[in-house]
């Protein structure tokens, strides 16, 4: 593995899940791999889980970490070539990526979608320019279109909770007061397509994800119908993809409730966090013993650790 930009970097997801569970059982077993090496973590957006779990993963691997909030601590970056830099952007990505490459052995980057220009977001300007101009491996800590560390942790969590190829997994849209990106939904869809489950997406009309990602995954517009017999219910908001960045529906009828969970096969409830209580899911869903949200966050550490292992071994 040269970089970890999306789930396609994983040669065999089932093997990766097994190896992540082994790391979870013995997290310091590869502490020697990262000795005298540094992971640089660049945040263009906020984080709780990604920041702390990736740092913890690095520490398990013997790596030291350097963290920088690029949104307010670094010089504003210019990404266009040939620009006369007379505006607010003080540093070009060419120099920034080359300089950070000298200080670190791996760079991890978080840079969300703007949700204003679809084409720009899909270019993955920040991530791909670091790949282009840095000389070391890059990890995606959530970009405009993908959150592959989250999806890898989710795959492990599902496996730990009795997943079989007969399991029914439902990805359901939920309301949210802010327009949120598609990254988590996209990567979750790609992950479930790889584990060969009985998989259904449910959402209001107008909230279809990118069809190049969902491919032939069935979409059911009636949430209650979709939930019947589910073994895993993954709840997530995203804004409209076709009417890019727009919120089309804000009412609460799509919130996950304990009444709706009764339609399932005693399903496990999943969400990547952070979650707005009693907007996305009701208190009693989140506080129920079937909620896996804290375990998902825990597995972020070991998923990140596995990714670091691949990159360190390759280097
Ligand atoms: N799930 C997730 O990525 O959480 P943070 O945004 O807190 O990192």
Please give the pLDDT value at position 314. Answer: 86
Whether the per-residue pLDDT at 197 is higher than 80: the answer is yes
Q: Is the CB of 52 under 6 A from ligand 1?
A: no
Ligand 1 atom closest to the Cα of residue 51 is 8
What does the block give as tokens for 273?
């966090």
Integer angstrom CA distances of residue 231 from 57, 61, 159, 237, 290: 29, 34, 12, 20, 10
Whole-prediction pTM:
0.98
Take atom 6 of ligand 1 and give the residue whose Cα is closest.
47
Q: Is the CB of 236 under 6 A from ligand 1?
A: no
Q: Is the CB of 50 under 6 A from ligand 1?
A: yes
Mean pLDDT, the chain, as a whole number? 97
User: Could you report the per-residue pLDDT of 144-170, keeping only the tens digit for each?
Assistant: 999 999 999 999 999 999 999 899 999
Place of tokens 């973590």: 41
Beta-bridge mates of residue 67:
41
* One-character DSSP codes across 61-122: TT-EEEEEETTTTSPPEE-STT----SS--EEHHHHHHHHHHH-SEEEEE----SS-HHHHH
Integer angstrom CA distances of residue 157 from 153, 205, 279: 6, 29, 24
CA of 224 to the centre of ligand 1 (A): 28
Whether the per-residue pLDDT at 227 is higher than 80: the answer is yes
**Confidence at 196, pLDDT banded by 50, 70, 90:** confident
Q: Among 49, 186, 300, which is best to mutate for testing ligand 1, by the most ligand atoms less than 8 A from CB?
A: 49
CA of 271 to the centre of ligand 1 (A): 10
Q: Average pLDDT of 99-106?
A: 98
Q: Is the CB of 273 under 6 A from ligand 1?
A: yes
**Confidence at 250, pLDDT banded by 50, 70, 90:** confident
**Confidence at 315, pLDDT banded by 50, 70, 90:** low
Q: Is the CB of 268 under 6 A from ligand 1?
A: no
Buried b (16+ CB within 10 A) or exposed e, 83-94: eeeeeeeeebbe
Peptide bond connecting 116 to the previous residue in cis, omega within 30 degrees of 0: no
- Cα–Cα distance measured from residue 60 to residue 55, given in angstroms and rounded to the nearest whole number: 9
**Cβ atoms within 10 Å, residue 161:** 16
Residues 6+ apart with CB under 8 A from 59: 65
Q: Is the CB of 187 under 6 A from ligand 1?
A: no
- Cα–Cα distance measured from residue 240 to residue 101, given in angstroms and rounded to the nearest whole number: 36
Rg for the chain, CA atoms, rounded: 20
Ligand 1 atom closest to the Cα of residue 46 is 6
What does the block give as tokens for 261?
């969970």
Q: Rounded to the nearest 5°, which phi and psi values hold at 255?
A: -60, 140
Q: Average pLDDT of 230-250?
A: 96
């Amino acid at each position: 593995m040269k970089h970890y930009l999306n789930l396609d970097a994983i040669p065999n997801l089932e093997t990766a899940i097994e190896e992540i569970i082994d790391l979870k059982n013995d997290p310091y077993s590869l502490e020697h791999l990262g000795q005298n090496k540094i992971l640089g973590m660049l945040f263009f957006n906020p984080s709780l889980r990604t920041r702390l779990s990736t740092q913890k993963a690095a520490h398990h691997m013997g790596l030291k970490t350097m963290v920088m909030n690029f949104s307010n601590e670094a010089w504003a970056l210019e990404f266009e070539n040939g620009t006369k830099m007379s505006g607010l952007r003080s540093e070009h990505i060419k120099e920034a990526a080359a300089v950070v490459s000298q200080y670190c052995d791996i760079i991890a980057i978080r840079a969300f979608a703007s949700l204003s220009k679809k084409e720009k977001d899909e270019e993955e300007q920040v991530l791909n320019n670091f790949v282009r101009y840095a000389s070391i491996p890059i990890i995606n800590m959530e970009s405009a279109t993908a959150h592959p560390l989250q999806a890898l942790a989710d795959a492990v969590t599902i496996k730990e909770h009795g997943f079989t190829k007969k399991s029914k997994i439902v990805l359901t849209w939920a309301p949210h007061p802010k327009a949120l990106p598609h990254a988590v939904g996209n990567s979750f869809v790609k992950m479930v397509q790889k584990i060969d489950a009985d998989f259904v997406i449910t959402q209001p009309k107008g909230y279809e994800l990118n069809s190049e990602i969902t491919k032939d995954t069935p979409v059911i517009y009636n949430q209650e119908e979709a939930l019947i017999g589910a073994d895993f219910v993954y709840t997530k908001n995203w804004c409209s993809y076709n009417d890019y960045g727009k919120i089309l529906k804000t009412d609460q009828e799509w919130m996950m409730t304990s009444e709706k969970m009764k339609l399932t096969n005693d399903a496990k409830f999943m969400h990547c966090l952070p979650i707005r209580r009693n907007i996305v899911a009701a208190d009693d869903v989140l506080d129920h013993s079937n909620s896996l949200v804290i375990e998902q966050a825990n597995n972020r550490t070991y998923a990140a650790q596995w990714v670091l292992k691949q990159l360190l071994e390759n280097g």
